[in-house]
């Protein structure tokens, strides 16, 4: 796994360098759907990552957001890649975005790599070996109660029309915590839980490439990850609740009480 993790790190650095160098430059942006943007850098970053990983591991398929490589069946191993997590931020010149690469092995996430190019922070985890930023170990926070917690979340695309758009959950939580943050990159939000800047994070409607790497990094930093209803987490079932462990049950209670009927 160590060698595969190194290849993922190399690919994330290379894609991240491109994203940083082209940040706020003149690039093409189009709408996949209303309020769901994609830039030409999403595509270029994905290509860079695939070129590196496919050259080194031609036998390992990839599931990628922009679909340059598609693996929907469940092979023995596959990469799960979000070349640019935080596209809306990137398109608006808001400096919060990441490259996320995970390696799935027989249904389990074994490697997680998330790179924050603007902060030059490389978050890494291999299952059973701890979590790190730039090679230094990281741990979740020690906060014990929700009322002392800083919590992150995010809103799905199609929030205009989707009634399961996280607004009732957000409204309930703001009365119970120190404050809430919505920073627009789920992969980085998870790394902030892993490194203790956030005490918890939830989202209702994410894709496997948003969560796979970051969830492993939280677990390896000593945190807890479930679905928002408290059932076991898998990156393929859209919702996620990640915390330092101590506040998990309390946060889960508030979320459960606030779910809209459509949930």
**Alpha-carbon torsion 189, 192, 193, 199, what sign?**
negative
Give the x/- contact pattern for ligand IPD in 116-155, rule: CB under 6 A: --------------------------------------xx
CB of 194 to ligand IPD, least distance (A): 16
Contact (Cβ atoms closer than 8 angstroms) between residue 47 and residue 68 = yes
Here the tokens at position 195 are 């490194």
Structure tokens at 98: 């990441």
Considering only residues 41 through 70, tell me which ones interact with ligand IPD, judged by CB under 6 A: 65
Query: Is the distance from CB of 111 to CB of 4 less than 8 angstroms?
Result: yes
Among 151, 206, 208, 241, binds ligand IPD (CB under 6 A): 206
Q: Is 184 in the site for ligand IPD (CB under 6 A)?
A: yes
* Residue 86 zone, left/alpha/beta (φ > 0; ψ -120 to 50; rest): left
Among 66, 85, 116, 250, binds ligand IPD (CB under 6 A): 85
Paired with 4 in beta bridges are none
Q: Which is nearer to ligand IPD, 185 or 244 (CB)?
A: 185
* Range 19-40 burial, b when 16+ CB lie within 10 A, else e: beebbeeeeeeeeeeeeebbbe
Q: Which is nearer to Ca ion, 82 or 199 (CB)?
A: 82
Write out the two tokens for 226: 């479930």
Is 95 a binding residue for ligand IPD by CB under 6 A? The answer is no
Return the one option of Ca ion, ligand IPD, none that residue 154 interacts with (CB less than 5 to 8 A, by type).
ligand IPD
The smaller minimum CB distance to Ca ion, of residues 206 and 252, is found at: 206
Rg (Cα) of the chain, in Å, rounded?
A: 17
Looking at the Cβ atoms of 206 and 255, the one nearer to ligand IPD is 206
- Residues interacting with ligand IPD, by CB under 6 A? 65, 82, 85-88, 154-156, 184-186, 203, 206, 210
């Amino acid at each position: 796994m160590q060698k595969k993790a190194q290849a993922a790190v190399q690919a994330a650095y290379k894609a991240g360098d491109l994203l940083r160098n082209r940040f706020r430059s003149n690039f093409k942006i189009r709408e996949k759907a209303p309020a769901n943007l994609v830039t030409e850098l999403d595509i270029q970053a994905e290509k860079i990552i695939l070129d590196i990983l496919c050259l080194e591991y031609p036998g390992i398929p990839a599931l990628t957001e922009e679909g340059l490589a598609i693996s929907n069946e469940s092979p023995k191993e596959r990469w799960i890649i979000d070349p640019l997590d935080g596209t809306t931020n990137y398109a608006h010149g808001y400096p919060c975005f990441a490259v996320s690469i995970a390696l799935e092995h027989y249904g389990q996430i074994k490697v997680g790599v998330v790179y924050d190019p603007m902060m030059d922070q490389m978050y890494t985890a291999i299952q059973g070996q701890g979590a790190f930023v730039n090679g230094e170990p990281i741990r979740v926070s020690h906060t014990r109660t929700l009322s002392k917690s800083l919590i992150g979340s995010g809103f799905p695309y199609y929030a205009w029309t989707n009634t399961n758009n996280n607004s009732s959950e957000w409204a309930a939580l703001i009365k119970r915590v120190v404050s809430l943050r919505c920073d627009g990159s789920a992969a980085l939000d998870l790394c902030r839980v892993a490194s203790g800047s956030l005490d918890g994070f939830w989202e209702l409607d994410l894709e496997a490439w948003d969560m796979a790497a970051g969830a492993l990094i939280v677990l390896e930093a000593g945190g807890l990850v479930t679905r928002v209803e408290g059932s076991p987490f898998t990156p393929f079932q859209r919702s996620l609740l990640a915390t330092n462990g101590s506040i998990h049950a309390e946060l889960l209670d508030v979320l459960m009480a606030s779910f809209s009927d459509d949930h």
